[in-house]
Amino acid sequence: MQLLKNNLKLTWRNLVKNPGSTLLNITGLMLGIVCSVIIFFTIRYEVSFDKQHTNEQQIYRITNNYYYPTFTMYVGNTPDPMAEALRTDFPEFERVVPIHSSYNHRISIDEQVLESDLIYCGPDFIQLFDYYNDPTKWVIGNPNEILGELNKTILTAGMAEKTFGSAENAVGKIITLENEIQLEVAGVINNPPNHTNYPFEQLVSFPTYENIARNSFGSVSSTTTFVQLPTVATVEGLRPALDDFNAKYMEAAWGEEFVSMDLQPLSEIHFDERFGSNNYTTDKSYLWTLGLIGLFMILIACINFVNLSTAKAANRSKEIGMRKVLGSSKKGVIVQFMTESFLLASFSMGLGLLLAQFSFPYFSEITNLNIGNDFTYTRQLLFFTVGLLLFITLAMGLYPAIVLSNFRPLDVIQNRTTSTAKGGFNLRRSLIAFQLTTSQVLIIVAIVVTCQLHYFQNTDLGFEKESRLSF
């Protein structure tokens, strides 16, 4: 304990004795940690889509490929009658759940006209995506009853407050869809999480949609069909049966070798730009790129510490020589310098987390990501920060500690200690070259991305977007 106390005291004295290099190291590490923590939250958000459902590994979406002479059309929707045909031909499926999505749908409430993102679904939607089957998620009503009745709808808490002022005022009111279908508000559910591929403001009972559905395999609708496989089933094992099903229904309607079907895991929907989703999609390479940027930011700061430490090695040679003359071992010197690196990294980590928490809401707003403003200190963040702290301590402290601990007392007395010992100069030059190259690449990438975003947002499209409508 006394040894640790002495090491901490010596570390503090050395940090205070060199305020310029200490401030430079802390600033570099802090900024690198801020970027890494924000990137961590971004990646965690992107990979968390629809992970809130307990059976998400068993849920698959039916997809179709339509082969034209010059291109292939990838469609994540299915013909309306497919769900019933799947129930008949695949009794081993635990659930077959069709939903029909309609976004920016026009609704009327008395004299008020609004737009709503709605999903037609039955009670099996709540049972399949069981996150919504939790009673704590429901403000008013029983979804297993409401979604099985004709002309019933459920609003999210946000939609109910926006349209009627409160959830209690919403229940029993009438909403008109496209001036045709009158729906009774029979329930209110909490807002769905942002990290879902199928967000909604309103759930409409599926029997309401069945009255207007197109009962033909020869048409493509906005209906998405999900299936829940048994735990022992695999997609490859079902492939022959799927091919037979495709030939029986889809090829019979569209033509042989013109269309195929497949099962897409729920976990892959967010990352597959071919089929898309009701939310946005993300390329996995984008997440790898973000992770590498965060790693390089940390490495640049660590290399900066290594270079400063080895460059100023001669200034600390007398301290090291005196410690060894008084009986300190090489291991003791290494522990001293690793303690110094750990304290510097810990202080930088604390400041970095505070700055990341402060800047997090602004980052969410600038990037237009629905991550939210809740910077939560979860177990995942704890593991990440502890792992990052240990990595930073080793990356920036181990090499200087080994180099400096190799100084011999006789060399110190004869003033023959330099930072070039044992190839240190060559390594330091390599680190400086890597640091400068990486910094320049990141700066160039940032400038290019900024210019591209500015171009996309401000270029003249040749027409007025506000005066164009899509039907």
Q: What is the pLDDT of residues 185-234, one digit of tens each?
A: 999 999 888 888 888 999 999 988 887 777 778 777 788 999 999 988 88
Residue 326 has a pLDDT of: 61
What type of residue sits at position 407?
A: F
Residue 311 has a pLDDT of: 66
CA–CA–CA angle 34, 36, 40 (5° rounding) = 115
β-partners of residue 72 are 67
Q: What is the pLDDT of residues 66-76, one digit of tens each?
A: 888 888 888 88
C-alpha separations of 196 from 64, 279, 322, 447 in Å: 22, 7, 62, 32
Q: Look up residue 53 and give its DSSP letter.
A: S
Output the pTM of the full model. 0.80
Residue written as tokens 């801020």?
34
Cα(376)–Cα(383) distance, integer angstroms: 13
Least confident of 76-80, 163-167, 209-213: 209-213
Least confident of 2-6, 130-134, 174-178: 2-6
Kindly give, in sequence order, each residue whose CB lies less than 8 Å from that of residue 382, ignoring residues fewer than 6 positions away.
none
46: left (phi over 0), alpha (psi -120 to 50) or beta: alpha
Cα(61)–Cα(376) distance, integer angstroms: 32
Q: Look up residue 134 and give its DSSP letter.
A: -
Residue 4 has a pLDDT of: 62
**Mean pLDDT computed over every residue of the chain:** 81
Residue 386 pLDDT more than 70?
yes
Residue 471 has a pLDDT of: 47
Average pLDDT over residues 168-187: 88
Tokens for 123?
Answer: 């009670």
User: Residues 402, 337: contact at Cβ < 8 Å?
Assistant: no
Q: What is the pLDDT of residues 292-336, one digit of tens each?
A: 888 888 888 888 878 777 666 556 666 666 666 666 677 777 777
User: Residues 307, 108: contact at Cβ < 8 Å?
Assistant: no
Cα-only R_g, the chain: 31
Residue 424 pLDDT more than 60?
no
Q: What is the pLDDT of residues 50-61, one digit of tens each?
A: 888 889 999 999
CA atoms within 13 A on the CB side of 393: 21
Q: What is the 3-state secondary structure (H, E, C) of 270-303?
A: HHCCCCCCCCCCCCHHHHHHHHHHHHHHHHHHHH
Average pLDDT over residues 136-154: 88
Least confident of 5-9, 63-67, 73-77, 168-172: 5-9
Residue 400 has a pLDDT of: 74
The percent of residues in the chain predicted with pLDDT above 70, rounded, is 82
Say if residue 428 is exposed, middle or buried (CB neighbours under 10 Å; 0-12, 13-18, 19+): buried
Residue 105 pLDDT more than 90?
no
Element (H, E) at 4: helix 2-17
Kindly give, in sequence order, each residue whose CB lies less than 8 Å from that of residue 139, ignoring residues fewer than 6 positions away.
157, 160, 167, 187, 188, 189, 190
Residue 156 has a pLDDT of: 92
* Highest mean pLDDT: which range of 253-262, 407-416, 428-437: 253-262
Cα(326)–Cα(346) distance, integer angstroms: 30
Q: Following DSSP, what letter does each residue of 332-390 receive, concatenated? A: HHHHHHHHHHHHHHHHHHHHHHHHHHHHHHHHHHHHT-TT-S-----HHHHHHHHHHHH
What type of residue sits at position 316?
A: R
Residue 90 has a pLDDT of: 93
Q: Look up residue 249 and give its DSSP letter.
A: I
Q: Following DSSP, what letter does each residue of 297-334 receive, concatenated? A: HHHHHHHHHHHHHHHTGGGGHHHHHHHHHTT--HHHHH
Residue 265 has a pLDDT of: 94
The three-class DSSP label of residue 110 is coil
The three-class DSSP label of residue 229 is coil
What type of residue sits at position 367?
A: T
